[in-house]
Amino acid sequence: MDSSSPNSPDNLPISPAPSLSAAPETPAAEATESLSSFAPRTDLSHLSRHAEAIRQELGKVIVGQQALAELLLVALLADGHVLLEGVPGVAKTLTAKLLARTLSVPFSRLQFTPDLMPSDVLGTSVFRPQRGEFEFRPGPIFASVVLIDEINRAPAKTQSALFEVMEERQITQDGTRYPMPAPFVVLATQNPIEQEGTYRLPEAQLDRFLFKLSVGYPSVEEEVAILQGHHAGFGGAPLDAVQAVVSAEDLRQLREQVQRQHVEPKLLEYIARLVGQTRAHKGLYLGASPRASLALLNGAKALAALRGRDFVTPEDIQYLCPMVLRHRIQLTPEREMEGGTPDDVVKQILQQIEVPR
């Protein structure tokens, strides 16, 4: 069944996994509470209004998922791509589609399959006999928000076609450079359980995702609300009820404001130490790259802005660490046999590195 159908299992809204909402408990949390009471030096009311407008539009269809919505907004403001992982029926596709609907920008959806070719994603050159020359016909990747459903079902040849466009926001075809429209965001979904007909994503591609978010099951109360809404009529509101509330120009201005967020030098060192520790941890075969440090910095700036602050705190960095690092590190075989997870290692690293005061 097409997941865009209102009756599709992927369109059932659910609550986020605990990993999305539970920040690590650290001494920095107490300091953040006192800092958050200070008046911001930068007017963030414009950003807050747009963020709240997007939340309200998503809330017309989605039940719960406040933490997931916040992290998607963080990625949007930080100009980053997101990988949504969860079992079928947990609203991964629906959430991505609804987020795209709140933006007044071009949207495209690709269903990845084992027989998909790079030209099916990027586009191809078509010969025009009238003019006696080839003309490039853009593929579905040429959109501002691109939803890639079940990204792990395409082979390595097709996955490699995304390397350039995800990092450089352009493709090169027959020696010609074709830039992507601004903004450009990739929202990809995958099922972590099913292995039949799937391919492991290359590390270089995973590293290009700002966040990897795990979407879990709803609580009993939220599932009751889902059933009540569905019984009343397709989740309580049709998809058409979600309106575009942010333009491309609005998003550009918000991103510029996020980039101007204040970050203390000691927090830059803190980020570097956290990421650097992944390269020295005995339980890891592969550590995180400097791209992870940049992702932590940009994500923390956006998170602080969404929470009404014009400065970054250690708590912002700690909260985002699992989402930024879990797909960029690899456990050693011994650690995997012991039942360890990347999130466990990230938690250990957060406890090992001293929090700046």
Across residues 292-311, what is the average pLDDT?
94
Residue 38: per-residue pLDDT: 52
Task: Give the total number of structural domains in the chain.
Answer: 1
pTM, 2 dp:
0.83
Give the range among 6-20, 99-113, 262-276 with minimum mean pLDDT: 6-20
For 133-166, what is each residue's pLDDT tens digit?
A: 888 899 999 999 999 999 999 988 899 889 999 9
Let me know how long the chain is. Answer: 357
- C-beta separation of 118 from 140 below 8 A: no
In this predicted structure, the answer to whether residue 40 has a pLDDT above a threshold of 90 is no
For 234-260, what is each residue's pLDDT tens digit?
A: 544 567 778 899 999 999 999 999 999
Distance CA(350)–CA(47), nearest Å, equals 30
- C-beta separation of 94 from 11 below 8 A: yes
Residue 233: per-residue pLDDT: 67
Pick the more confident residue, 229 or 191.
Answer: 191
* 69: in domain: yes
* 216: in domain: yes
Residue 292: per-residue pLDDT: 95
CA dihedral sign, ordered 141, 144, 150, 151: positive
- C-beta separation of 159 from 118 below 8 A: no
Distance CA(216)–CA(296), nearest Å, equals 23
Distance CA(183)–CA(303), nearest Å, equals 19
In this predicted structure, the answer to whether residue 178 has a pLDDT above a threshold of 80 is yes
* 203: in domain: yes
Residue 267: per-residue pLDDT: 96
Q: 271: closest CA among 316, 302, 236, 238? A: 316
* 3: in domain: no
Across residues 109-126, what is the average pLDDT?
91
* 357: in domain: no
In this predicted structure, the answer to whether residue 13 has a pLDDT above a threshold of 70 is no
Residue 70: per-residue pLDDT: 92
Average pLDDT of the chain to the nearest whole number:
84
- C-beta separation of 296 from 271 below 8 A: yes
Residue 250: per-residue pLDDT: 92
Across residues 259-283, what is the average pLDDT?
94
* 338: in domain: yes
Q: How much of the chain is helix, strand and coil, in % rounded to 5?
A: 45, 15, 35
Give the range among 49-53, 103-107, 190-194, 297-301 with minimum mean pLDDT: 190-194
Give the range among 70-74, 123-127, 128-132, 335-339 with minimum mean pLDDT: 128-132
Residue 39: per-residue pLDDT: 56
Assign residue 126 the CATH number of its domain: 3.40.50.300
* 67: in domain: yes
Across residues 41-59, what is the average pLDDT?
87
Across residues 42-51, what is the average pLDDT?
87
For 314-332, what is each residue's pLDDT tens digit?
A: 999 999 999 999 999 999 9
Give the range among 55-69, 109-123, 164-178 with minimum mean pLDDT: 55-69
For 207-236, what is each residue's pLDDT tens digit?
A: 999 999 998 888 788 888 878 777 776 544
Residue 17: per-residue pLDDT: 40
Domain that holds residue 233: 9-352
* 2: in domain: no
Residue 237: per-residue pLDDT: 52
Q: Is 346 left (phi over 0), alpha (psi -120 to 50) or beta?
A: alpha
Q: Which residue has the tokens 């890891």?
A: 284
Pick the more confident residue, 91 or 317.
Answer: 317
Across residues 77-82, what is the average pLDDT?
95
Residue 9: per-residue pLDDT: 42
